[in-house]
């Protein structure tokens, strides 16, 4: 099966250098990779992705985001969540539940230790 490369140049304001996209934190690269993988898997088209991301950035700017580049991947993540719910890749309830599980995990992980969702899920189930 041959896949067509995604047109990264169609993305609004993608932080990049001469070698490609630039990430300041690991979660940014993970969110980027997830969107690319979901598009390649056919969960949504690249043009749908660009449209939703553009709308998310525009909405943030209208709410006062100064658009200095430091919030770009937060917009990326927000757009990814919206599109995954809209395309029924995941349900809204399941998304909120997973977010709460991650919150619980990082709040209960000792400083300097890796955050592990599996351990947090087990503890969260015991508590409630």
Q: Are residues 104 and 51 in the same domain?
A: no
Q: Are residues 63 and 106 in the same domain?
A: no
The CA distance from 63 to 75, in Å, is 13
Looking at residue 9, its pLDDT comes to 58
Any domain includes 2: no
Any domain includes 26: yes
Q: Are residues 84 and 103 in the same domain?
A: no
How large a percentage of the chain has pLDDT more than 70? 77
Q: Are residues 102 and 126 in the same domain?
A: yes
Any domain includes 4: no
Q: Which carries the bigger pLDDT value, residue 34 or residue 115?
A: 34
Q: Are residues 84 and 105 in the same domain?
A: no
Q: Are residues 101 and 120 in the same domain?
A: yes
Q: Are residues 103 and 50 in the same domain?
A: no
* Res. 26: pLDDT tops 80: yes
Condensed to tens digits (0 to 9), the pLDDT of residues 33-78 reads: 999 999 999 999 999 999 999 999 999 999 998 877 788 889 999 9
Q: Are residues 70 and 101 in the same domain?
A: no
The CA distance from 80 to 86, in Å, is 10
Q: Are residues 57 and 112 in the same domain?
A: no
Q: By residue range, what is the domain housing residue 116?
A: 92-128
The CA distance from 98 to 43, in Å, is 20
DSSP characters over 20-31: EE--SSHHHHHH
Any domain includes 104: yes
Give the CA count within 13 Å in the CB-facing half-sphere of 113.
11
């Amino acid at each position: 099966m041959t896949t067509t490369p995604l047109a990264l140049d169609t993305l609004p304001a993608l932080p990049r250098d001469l070698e490609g996209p630039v990430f300041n934190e690991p979660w940014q690269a993970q969110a980027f990779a997830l969107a690319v993988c979901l598009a390649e898997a056919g969960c949504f088209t690249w043009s749908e992705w660009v449209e939703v991301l553009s709308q998310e950035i525009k909405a943030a700017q209208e709410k006062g985001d100064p658009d200095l580049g430091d919030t770009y991947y937060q917009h990326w993540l927000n757009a990814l969540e919206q599109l995954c719910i809209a395309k029924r890749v995941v349900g809204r309830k399941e998304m909120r539940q997973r977010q709460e599980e991650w919150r619980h995990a990082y709040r209960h992980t000792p400083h300097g230790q890796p955050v592990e969702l599996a351990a947090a899920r087990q503890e969260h189930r015991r508590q409630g």
